[in-house]
Structure 1
């Protein structure tokens, strides 16, 4: 019975933190002296094994605090293709998640087993996988809250998902050349051009004169 009450109370608190986590974008730390470093793989391959996103919280305050993590995942990839599992050393850690638009928020149902103190870190880990076939950019943001749901610190990291949206078709290779032997072309010998003959100007043909017909003289006297 106690376990059920604790689980129910954790879910209620997680819902309140969930509303707080969604409210501010991007988040700004409410408490000085806290910081978080988020590391994520450069890229994810759809259908491949899950990869780990890690958040390490450090504190410079004398007062120690319990931490509750919230992971915000922003991407145009279909949320149905995303698999996120919060893990601790002893296995999966219960969470509550919701999706609004392109943002999916995963909040711990319970406080992290660790304790954030000066010189002592608290680490949160998430196993993230993509089923595909969509691809694109992914933004991870981790927010750390204390037991009073006060935002302590926040930070993020970016990654990419390979997929149909980012693939480029490879050029089709050209067919190999055929092994036909090419016959050498015969060179045609060009005959040397002969110099043009010099032609002397033609003389004009004389026009023949008309011959005069003999005249008959009829004379009255002696010839």
Structure 2
């Protein structure tokens, strides 16, 4: 294996430059999703005491909403009901974790690929297997970005419904004499951004597939084949 030799020229070419963009986009993808924390608030009116109190359910990544119970401060019970037993509906951890975990793996792969591009440029371009592996991985990653982002986008839509005003209709106490009114839910703008970056990553990887393909033997014939093609008949062996 050749020794490490720093060469920044590949970063000026589409192959390396787009890889840097993919690396940055993957960071935004998992950071905007994995770092989210939010609350949904409901105003509870007690029919007997005529008190109005706000109860809050906190939720966030990995969005196991069925484990997010309501809390009322400073009182534990509101209207004689223990709201800790009341939770949001749904478990969307599989889609969220798949999306974030995949984005982290892409982040690590981009680092490894960039290290190969700028540190072992000659090895990458002289070895026929490395560009082919890079090309196959690029196609697989493009497809998985589509799958993971689509799954996460669907889950996000369901999360918005489960934490929005429809939650009032699902809580048992709100159906049994207690008046409940939806107050607010934390803005999910960062989660919308995570979906956007997911599809942006898919576009970047899909576009980069062409530049990776150009490095493979599928696009560039071997030196032997090239010499035969350009040289025509082999030189005579003698009289």
When the two structures are superposed, what TM-score results if normalisation uses the length of structure 1? 0.24
Larger radius of gyration: 1
- Relative contact order (C-alpha < 8 Å, sep 6+): which is higher? 2
TM-score, normalising length: structure 2: 0.22
